[in-house]
Chains A and B, each alone.
Chain A
Amino acid sequence: MVDVLEETNKAPIEAAGKPIKIVAFLCNWCSYAGADTAGVARLKQPYGFRVIRIPCSGRLNLLYPLRAFFDGADGVLVSGCHPGDCHYVEGNYYARRRLEVLKNFLPFLGIEPDRFKYTWISATEGTKWQETITQFTLRIQELGPLSIKREKVDAE
């Protein structure tokens, strides 16, 4: 995996000639700190994902990932504290139910199920974050750009 990272760390990852866009919604207390841990430990990560920090995975409005998809994201990653470790005690239990419904719903719109992923990463799991984001980026690269934006239809 390190070889891939050596290459990917230098330039944006491209698929079909376009840099791919990944939006990562990370909870403030665990996953954001986990990604920070990965950075502090100088773990190599693919270039070109955008992190949006949210207070809690339970704060994630399901319209955020949908908005990201319709505005041109190729993949959306949501990550929060492990169930049971939520800073707000039960936020991610609610989030888990909602995210699972959304994950099942996206294929109905024609968005491949692998383009949306939700995981639980704690503040110390820098390596888990590195693995998750790398694998996710490579998978999105395989899938290529999302065709929502590939051919735009102008409304009459």
Chain B
Amino acid sequence: MQNNEIINKAKEILKNKIGDLDLIVGYQKGVNPLSNSPLFIKNTEDIQRFDYGFFSSQSLPQYLSYYKGKIGLVIKGCDSRAINQLIVEERVMRDDLFVLAMPCAGTINAKKVDKNLSGASIKTAKVEDSTLIVSLYDDNIDIKIPLGEVVFDKCLSCSYYEPAIMDASVGEFNKPPVATKEGYFDVSEFSSKSNDELLDFWRTEFSRCIRCYACRNACPMCYCQFNCLANTRDPKWLSERTTFEENAMFHMIRATHLMGRCTGCQECERVCPMNIPISLLFRKNNEIVENLFGYVAGKNADEQPPLLTFKKTEENIP
């Protein structure tokens, strides 16, 4: 199915739903040709701007914590996990939701493209036959980059292309061709490093953090908002200094709070202005939780999170 057909079908479905829902969150063309912006649909005119494709990289379930009432969401397969997890944690009611699932063949990571082009400003961008074709302002030459080099890391090991929750869907859900790697491939690359190498790695990464808290604000699971531990004065967990220790502690707050809850949307990395690979921490924790308790966050909407329950005899804990 062509992308235009998918968009038109989605527009039709959303048009019929406008009366029932207070708000529909979808995508529209962004200022940057490499990434779509969220589109907040309240009336039929807004729907004309609806767009979807390889550039719809943002994960929309994060808005569920900010808006009350009946909400419609346009999601990719991987985003469905965040919705499930929010339902498990009773942050949203299933009845208040309308989920429109869209097929996805990987989304473009604008940062990887920028790195590839060493920061040249981009005029237009499109995807054809698993290649990203960009044209620059400076030259008239089209630059072709294979899709595998510029999609998110999560897309490389995508196994959640089929939505775990949806009310309506458009198109077919197939494994994206870019998904060539398995499981927690980026985490396991670290297992060969020595302790000193790891400490050095995290020391440089965390020292670069400017504590803008963008990762926290973008995370669909970090919904404490103004009650976040990182902001509390009493008890004062963090000082405002941006030393390695304080920055690391901020990321530890998120790592411990997201233990087994991270749904792997990689929004934290997408929004990070310093390009710190933070989501590695959460993916590592996910791997541990999956090995110990066989739980994958957001796979089902009726499974209890493992750290909120216990067994008297644990199978995998000595």
Contacts and interface: CB of A to CB of B under 8 A. Distances in A.
A154 B247 CA distance: 12
Interface string B242-255: 11110111001101
Nearest to B308: A94
B284 A105 contact: yes
A10 interface: no
A147 B196 contact: yes
B289 A101 contact: yes
Give the interface SS of chain A, mostly helix, strand, loop or mixed: helix
Given A96-B317, A104-B292, A105-B284, A112 B207 contact: no
Contact of A105 (B200, B244, B255, B317): B255
B63 interface: no
Contacts of A84: 312
Contacts of A105: 255, 259, 284-285, 288
Interface in B144-178: none
Contact of A109 (B199, B242, B243): B199
Contacts of B248: 70
Contact of A63 (B195, B201, B208, B253): B253
Contacts of B311: 93
Contacts of A62: 256, 259
B293 A97 contact: yes
A93 B311 CA distance: 7
A108 B259 contact: no
A97 B284 contact: no
B195 A111 contact: yes
Contacts of B293: 97
Interface residues of B, number: 45
Contact of B243 (A108, A147, A155): A155
A61 to B, nearest CB: 8
Interface string B292-313: 1100000000000011001110
Interface string A11-29: 0000000000000000000
Contact of A153 (B195, B207, B255, B284): B207
A155 B246 CA distance: 10
A126 B307 CA distance: 31
Contact of B195 (A90, A102, A110, A155): A110
9 contacts: A66-B249, A94-B310, A101-B260, A105-B259, A109-B199, A110-B199, A110-B202, A153-B204, A155-B207
Given A63-B256, A110-B197, A152-B243, 19 more contacts: A63-B237, A70-B245, A96-B314, A96-B317, A97-B293, A97-B306, A97-B310, A101-B307, A105-B284, A108-B187, A108-B198, A110-B196, A110-B198, A110-B201, A111-B199, A152-B244, A155-B207, A155-B242, A156-B207
Top 7 nearest A-B pairs by Cβ distance?
A110-B198, A110-B199, A93-B310, A104-B288, A62-B256, A66-B252, A70-B245
Interface of B: 187, 190, 195-204, 207-208, 229, 237, 241-245, 247-249, 252-253, 255-256, 259-260, 281, 284-285, 288-289, 291-293, 306-307, 310-312, 314, 317
Interface of A: 61-63, 66-67, 70-71, 83-84, 90, 93-94, 96-98, 100-102, 104-105, 107-112, 147-148, 152-156
